[in-house]
Structure 1
């Protein structure tokens, strides 16, 4: 080309073009650098410290000794350490599966029917999301107490045989806490699904009705596929909330009776601050973090794969 530099001048020009200040890529890195530094200081560095502590035997006071993989080996072989993870998986049914299912049903009903006071219903169902979990825990602890509102109601309707100390019963304590989680998460899922349903083109519903689709077929063929992104978001939020659940357990049962309601997040607190097993607590925390990461990435990949 005429006028293009040749030889050394052309080489120098290329190098200058690569290293020129103000290049879009370099400027982009400068823009995100403060956020990356903050993210690293507040998240990556503490997580690295937790990984290091999980490789030690340490009571938090005296000198630590090297443990290697002993804490993780105990996590796999000790039934007392495996139980909190089993309880967390059970709670995922109440914290994630039920809220998503109920939220889908409520969104389908409310989006089809013209209900007076729609804003009121949405507000009431979403209200648990704006309450602090400490307030929720204290309220439900009084409701589920032996002399609480639930047992009083059962006695009033002639079902006294069903009364029990819900949070003190080995068989019912975990489901009782799970029901509280369902109550908290349902409103969030419903609002997400209602917002998503409003973005589904009305023409799809009209076409389904012209083809003779009833309400159930319409829901399965139109509403459910259209809500796939919102379902992924709801699953991610509820699964993370269920696995990192600490507030409700601490306020309502403190892991009891025995360890019937102990979950990983509570076990981290219990071992680190009550029994001085900091290394074991760090191993539980690292394992819980990796479990949450794997599940959330899996949900995202599944949704992206369905889209393609």
Structure 2
């Protein structure tokens, strides 16, 4: 063994010991988060899956029913109707806010930095910091027969359109959906503005030198550059649409009839009002699988261009 090899051996051993100490320190830092995640996510999820195979009222003896609860979720018209309503809300919680956010972010990008720019961002983001329960209550007042919405329509000569928006079977669900659009548009706009700010300005300058207009600039530079931000927003808004509870609970309670009944509210009623914990758990697991089935392909598609 040469002198160089003899001197390098202690260095390698010291490096390995330092790496092991770093690994232990890393695990010590991660353990609290893992404990919290296991306690508040993994354990409740496992418990919910267990309950979903039983007929249980939450107090008495549980009876094994196998897949009967899942079969009821997939065949009961009321439960399927709630799922359909949540899919309708995707148009209002996802398509409208993301589309409007794209337009607003593109327009705001052209504004010079100053009071108008900061004020517009603040006003747009303000609904996001308002509790959804408070937003539902406020909008239920505005949608009332004598509320602000009908008063505005009457003042501009559209009085024939006035109606109790949340009490009409035809307009209740779209009216609730617009509340979600109002809440989420600010978040979409601010996040897309941040994404636009990360796009290299030289790309815009180059395409303008080629004589490109706003339309070509938007679809050639802006939209591809916002791929990751759009994936995040679509993921967040789709989850919000499928799991919405606060707005519905405070504005319509699922009415009129079942016109605005959504899975979140129905699971609450089944579990706490009807005391059918097994069915409520099965419904929750089905919704979780449905969310994953929608969200995972979106995340996968957003990474295709990065390969």
Scaled by the length of structure 2, the TM-score of the pair is: 0.91
Displacement after TM superposition at 1:146 (Å) = 1.6
Displacement after TM superposition at 1:155 (Å) = 2.1
Correspondences of 1:11-26 after superposition (within 5 Å): 22-26=20-24
Write the distance in 2 (CA, Å) between the matches of 1:217 and 1:21: 52
The 3-state SS of whatever aligns with 2:20 is coil
1:134 aligned partner: 133
Write the distance in 2 (CA, Å) between the matches of 1:120 and 1:21: 50
2:70 aligned partner: 72
1:9 aligned partner: none
Write the distance in 2 (CA, Å) between the matches of 1:274 and 1:306: 48
Write the distance in 2 (CA, Å) between the matches of 1:205 and 1:290: 41
1:176 aligned partner: 175
Scaled by the length of structure 1, the TM-score of the pair is: 0.91
The alignment of Structure 1 onto Structure 2 pairs a total of residues equal to: 301
Write the distance in 1 (CA, Å) between the matches of 2:133 and 2:71: 34
Kept after mapping to 1: 8 A contact 2:111/2:117:
no
The 3-state SS of whatever aligns with 1:200 is coil
Displacement after TM superposition at 1:293 (Å) = 2.7
1:14 aligned partner: none
1:46 aligned partner: 44
- Give the one of 88, 91, 112 matched to 1:90: 88
- Give the one of 109, 112, 118 matched to 2:110: 112
Write the distance in 1 (CA, Å) between the matches of 2:59 and 2:150: 46
**Residues 142-151 or 175-184, more deviating:** 142-151
Displacement after TM superposition at 1:233 (Å) = 1.4
Displacement after TM superposition at 1:198 (Å) = 1.1
The 3-state SS of whatever aligns with 2:176 is helix
Name structure 1 gaps, 5 residues minimum. Answer: 6-16
Write the distance in 2 (CA, Å) between the matches of 1:167 and 1:62: 39
The 3-state SS of whatever aligns with 1:117 is helix
1:241 aligned partner: 240
Displacement after TM superposition at 1:23 (Å) = 4.8
The 3-state SS of whatever aligns with 1:258 is coil
Write the distance in 1 (CA, Å) between the matches of 2:99 and 2:233: 10
In the alignment, structure 1 residue 156 sits paired with structure 2 residue 155: yes
Write the distance in 1 (CA, Å) between the matches of 2:165 and 2:208: 47
Displacement after TM superposition at 1:2 (Å) = 5.1
Write the distance in 2 (CA, Å) between the matches of 1:20 and 1:179: 57
1:210 aligned partner: 209
Displacement after TM superposition at 1:294 (Å) = 3.1
**Residues 106-115 or 196-205, more deviating:** 106-115
Displacement after TM superposition at 1:259 (Å) = 1.0
Write the distance in 2 (CA, Å) between the matches of 1:161 and 1:223: 42
1:166 aligned partner: 165
CA gap of 1:289–1:194, structure 2 versus 1, over 3 A, is: same
CA shift digits 1:71-125 (9 cap, x unpaired)? 1111111111111111111101100111000000111111124486111111111
CA shift digits 1:35-90 (9 cap, x unpaired)? 11110011100111111111111122322211110111111111111111111111
